[in-house]
Structure formats: structure tokens, C-alpha cells
Amino acid sequence: MTDTAMANVSLEGVPTVEVIKPANTGMPPGRVRFAFKKLDADNSGGVDLDELKTGLAKEFGVDELAPHVIAAMEEKYNLHAEEKDGKKVLTAKVFGRYFCEVMFRHFDKDNSGTLELAEVQEALKFLVKPDADGNKVAPIIAFPPELTTESGEVHLPISWVFASMP
């Protein structure tokens, strides 16, 4: 099914949505590209771990990131950072995925390894641009029924998030 066809699917009780402009799946979202540019203040093409910790805490609007978020940041940084000009840095080519991982961990408040529906909505509100009045409204999302418990709770794993990334 094409992106346009998927966008025009009508779910029971949910109106059909018209896509104004399909997402460019060949590059990270603008918010992610902009975050990298802000963190790479010296335009070196890379950011080190200290810049990431400080910058992403500021990006997420917190004084400091939770211990489980910092642990995940350090682990993923050590896996993906590369040597550049004698310094270990994370480059733009891997930053989108790194940002997604850190954001997932940040919004996974209970460190369960999944995002419950309220956590998903908070993360999506973080990502969307505010409307003309400054309000941020989380978009409507669809997810597979197998990610819903018998009691109706939603638990989205990070693989669900990564499946929609370029």
C-alpha cells in the first residue's frame, strides 16, 4: 500500500485523513536535523558525549536526564561514535537514529522498554510544531492490535518507532 493510500484509509469511527505533503522518508525529520545543528555549535560535523548529554537535556526541557536515559546514551554513543579530528564524536549520519533512541528512553518514564499510550502522546506532542496559537496537539496514530493488552493498554516497543524511520 502506498503512503498516500495508507493516509486515506478510513478506520471505524475515524474520519479519512488527506495527506497534504507526504513525509520525506529519505532523511530524518526537520526537528532531528535542527537538533543536530544546535548541538554541533562549532560546525565540526560531530558532537561529543558531554555535548549530547547537556544539549539533549535542554532539548527535552529538563535539568538533567534520568539515569536510565544517560546509560542508554552512553551505550549507543560507544557503539556509534567515530574518531574525527582526534576526537570521538557522533556524526549527522547516525544522529537521527541516536536521537530517536534517546527520545524513546526519555519518554519511557518507567523504563519498561515500551511506551504506554500516554507516553507516546507526550513524545508526539514534543515532536510536532505548535499551531498558530502555540498549542501542540499530538497526531492520531495507528498501531497493530498485538501491541495492545487484553485490558486495552498500549505498549509500543522501540522497534515500532524504528520501523517508521528512514
Domain residue spans in the chain? 3-163
146: DSSP letter:
G
40-82: per-residue pLDDT in tens? 988 888 999 999 999 999 999 999 999 999 999 999 999 999 9
Angle at 113 between CA 80 and CA 1, to 5 degrees: 80
Q: How far apart are CA 27 and CA 39, in angstroms?
A: 18
| Number of Cα atoms under 13 Å in the Cβ half of residue 47 | 24
Residue-level pLDDT at 113 = 92
Query: For residue 14, which amino acid is it?
Result: V
Residue-level pLDDT at 155 = 85
Q: Is 110 exposed, middle or buried (0-12, 13-18, 19+ CB in 10 A)?
A: exposed
Phi/psi for 162 (5° steps) reads -65, -30
Query: For residue 101, which amino acid is it?
Result: E
Q: How far apart are CA 150 and CA 144, in angstroms?
A: 13
Q: What nine digits make up the cell of 135?
A: 498549542
Q: What is the three-class DSSP state of 100? A: helix
Residue-level pLDDT at 82 = 93
- The ranges of the chain with pLDDT < 70 are 1-29, 161-166
Map grid coordinates 537538533 to a residue: 35
Residue-level pLDDT at 38 = 92
The DSSP bridge partners found for residue 156 are 115
pTM of the model: 0.76
Residue-level pLDDT at 50 = 92
